[in-house]
Amino acid sequence: MSTNLWHERAAAQSIDGRAFIGGERVWAKSEQRFDNLSPIDGRNLGAVARCDGADVDAAVAAARAAFDDGRWAGKSPAQRKRVLIKFADLVQKYGAELALLETLDMGKPIKYSQSVDVNGTANTLRWYGEAIDKIYDEIAPTAANSLALITREPVGVVAAIVPWNYPMLMAAWKIAPALAAGNSVVLKPSEKSPLTALRLADIALEAGIPPGVFNVLPGFGHEAGAALALHMDVDCIGFTGSTRTGKQILQMAGQSNLKRAWTELGGKSANIVCADCPDLDAAVASAVGSIFFNQGESCNAPSRLFVEESIKERFLEKALAMMPDFQPGDPLDEASVMGAIVDATQLKIVMGYIEAGKSGGAKLLAGGRQARSESGGFYVEPTLFDQVDSSMTIAREEIFGPVLSVLSFTDVREAVRQANATPYGLQAAVWTSNISKAIQTARALRAGTVHVNQYDGDDVTVPFGGYKQSGNGRDKSLHALDKYTELKTTWIQI
């Protein structure tokens, strides 16, 4: 679609910022609202309900009533499958609208809102729908005069709290397995990008998810989020966001009703390129493309690049030649590959890190400035720092912006030691044509996902999550169903 047409659609797009509770769109009980500004041009997209504890009580009560009367949990897996597949089909049908909302709300390029966020959301819903009627329970090999059944049951009321960087997709990674397993869900999207989660609720209802089974509460973390984490009638909380908030969520879960709590948190992923890497051009394209994807606002962004000293000069030459390709553009232009930073606060954080890199002694090779200021939105140039060492702030802290830090090494074991010297453990990569080195390095890297000679492997079939302070859970794959099911043993005397 042409850029003009996307802009026309954006101007005509209606925004409904009301919460979704018990199958209905409602404003917060307090009548409080907040303005939702678009990062692409600073425009006010409209008012959004500022939900708090009273709305959380209403949504949890609706979810509990729906769970208890079995209107969803009581359906057969095959029936839930049909509804989830219809849900997926409708996400695809409304794909252009959802992609537009995602880009207006969060700032990412429209082409990725379509290919990654909309398609990924539909695919996740469809996959869990397809999976759920193919999973069998177990009979344990106990004594001859007894039968011990091991069955999975839904946990009950699941709260899901998600961040702003992939608003719809992060929600899908939680609601798809939770709904497939028969739970009721209360979702709290980020206050920075709540619009697609709210539209998903309308679409779920249209698909046949019964009222009360899926509720969405926009609002702030310390209000709606904390009230959900502390709620005595929420059985399980799935959280994706920063490590700082993740720790609070675990505390709140513990101090309330000991609800199950699963966290998917931050990262500072290391990408290690050895001199014997099989394809230097591919390694450069992947290193640069992966850090600047989603404006660097990805938990698994490979923000620390370790390059073997003997190839570093050639590597950087090639990387610098690619920088112009990643200049931020109009997010509603399908040719743009970098869009806007989510809001003024995040822009300030990113610019602060760039200043810290400069004052900390790293060498700024490219970028480092704001861009497209005339738009009224929040844009940062793709930024490349060389001569970074592991003690620098930019090598230690998650920046969550388009900033790549280059470090060098002469012995891959030293690169691994530094790669692991972080509280995070989300992802890592190693590039080498030596199979033993690849496997030894992959084993030594303390991360939930390790890539060999690539960085962009991603599929709903594989678990996604971190070691150490990158979280204690896994989204995606059949393993994610463990989070949203209880195991019950039933002994039968025969």
Question: Which residues are designated catalytic?
Answer: 264, 299
Residue 103 or 469 with smaller CB distance to ligand NAD: 469
Handedness of CA 298, 299, 303, 306 (dihedral sign): negative
Please name every residue paired with 240 in a beta bridge, in sequence order, or none if there are none: 264
Which residues between 281 and 320 bind ligand NAD (CB under 6 A)?
Answer: 299
Smallest distance, Å, CB 241 to ligand NAD?
3
Residue 316 or 399 with smaller CB distance to ligand NAD: 399
Which residues between 175 and 204 bind ligand NAD (CB under 6 A)?
Answer: 188, 190-191
Residue 319 or 429 with smaller CB distance to ligand NAD: 429
**Which of these segments, 69-77, 83-91, 216-224, 284-292, binds ligand NAD (CB under 6 A)?**
216-224
- Provide the 3-class DSSP secondary structure of residue 157: strand
Regarding 105 and contact with ligand NAD (CB under 6 A), the answer is no
**Among 36, 123, 124, 240, contact with ligand NAD (rule: CB under 6 A):** 240
Integer Cα distance of 174 and 468 in angstroms = 21
What ranges make up the beta strands (E) of 23-178?
A: 24-26, 33-37, 44-49, 138-140, 146-154, 157-161
Residue 407 or 447 with smaller CB distance to ligand NAD: 447
Regarding 266 and contact with ligand NAD (CB under 6 A), the answer is yes
Tokens linked to 90? 């409708």
Regarding 111 and contact with ligand NAD (CB under 6 A), the answer is no
Which residues between 463 and 482 bind ligand NAD (CB under 6 A)?
Answer: 464, 466, 470-471
**Which of these segments, 78-86, 243-251, 277-285, 486-494, binds ligand NAD (CB under 6 A)?**
243-251
Integer Cα distance of 414 and 42 in angstroms = 45
**Among 229, 338, 384, 428, contact with ligand NAD (rule: CB under 6 A):** 229
**Among 127, 400, 455, 484, contact with ligand NAD (rule: CB under 6 A):** 400
DSSP-assigned letters across all residues of 257-308:
T--EEEEE-----EEEE-TT-S-HHHHHHHHHHHHHGGGG--TT---EEEEE
DSSP-assigned letters across all residues of 368-436:
-SEE-GGGTS-EE--EEEES--TTSHHHHS---SSEEEEEEESSHHHHHHHHH-SS--SEEEEE-S-HH
Smallest distance, Å, CB 444 to ligand NAD?
21
Regarding 242 and contact with ligand NAD (CB under 6 A), the answer is yes
Regarding 102 and contact with ligand NAD (CB under 6 A), the answer is no
In 3D, which of 243, 208, 211, 185 has the Cα closest to residue 400? 243
Smallest distance, Å, CB 108 to ligand NAD?
13
Please name every residue paired with 326 in a beta bridge, in sequence order, or none if there are none: none
Regarding 264 and contact with ligand NAD (CB under 6 A), the answer is yes
Q: Give CA separation, 118 vs 100, 139, 167, 207, in Å.
A: 10, 39, 10, 16
Regarding 247 and contact with ligand NAD (CB under 6 A), the answer is no
**Which of these segments, 40-48, 76-84, 242-250, 284-292, binds ligand NAD (CB under 6 A)?**
242-250
> What are the phi and psi torsion angles at 89 (to 5°)?
-60, -40
Integer Cα distance of 430 and 366 in angstroms = 24
Q: Give CA separation, 11 vs 28, 36, 265, in Å.
A: 26, 15, 35
What ranges make up the beta strands (E) of 50-181?
A: 138-140, 146-154, 157-161
**Which of these segments, 30-38, 54-62, 208-216, 223-231, binds ligand NAD (CB under 6 A)?**
223-231
**Among 6, 94, 164, 293, contact with ligand NAD (rule: CB under 6 A):** 164
Query: Can you count the helices (H) and strands (E) in the chain?
Result: 16, 21
Handedness of CA 472, 478, 484, 486 (dihedral sign): negative
Regarding 398 and contact with ligand NAD (CB under 6 A), the answer is yes
**Which of these segments, 30-38, 120-128, 159-167, 274-282, binds ligand NAD (CB under 6 A)?**
159-167
Regarding 241 and contact with ligand NAD (CB under 6 A), the answer is yes
Integer Cα distance of 257 and 270 in angstroms = 37
**Among 178, 236, 265, 350, contact with ligand NAD (rule: CB under 6 A):** 265
**Which of these segments, 5-13, 73-81, 175-183, 236-244, binds ligand NAD (CB under 6 A)?**
236-244
Residue 33 or 358 with smaller CB distance to ligand NAD: 33
Residue 188 or 446 with smaller CB distance to ligand NAD: 188
**Among 222, 363, 413, 443, contact with ligand NAD (rule: CB under 6 A):** 222
Tokens linked to 363? 């060498």
The residue count for binding ligand NAD (CB under 6 A) is 33
On whether the CB atoms of residues 395 and 405 are closer than 8 A, the answer is: yes
Integer Cα distance of 365 and 320 in angstroms = 8
**Which of these segments, 14-22, 114-122, 244-252, 269-277, binds ligand NAD (CB under 6 A)?**
244-252
Integer Cα distance of 204 and 281 in angstroms = 44
Based on its alpha-carbon atoms, the radius of gyration of the chain, rounded to whole angstroms, reads: 23
Which residues of this chain interact with ligand NAD, rule CB under 6 A? Answer: 161-165, 170, 188, 190-191, 220-222, 225-226, 229, 240-242, 245, 248-249, 264-267, 299, 398, 400, 426, 464, 466, 470-471
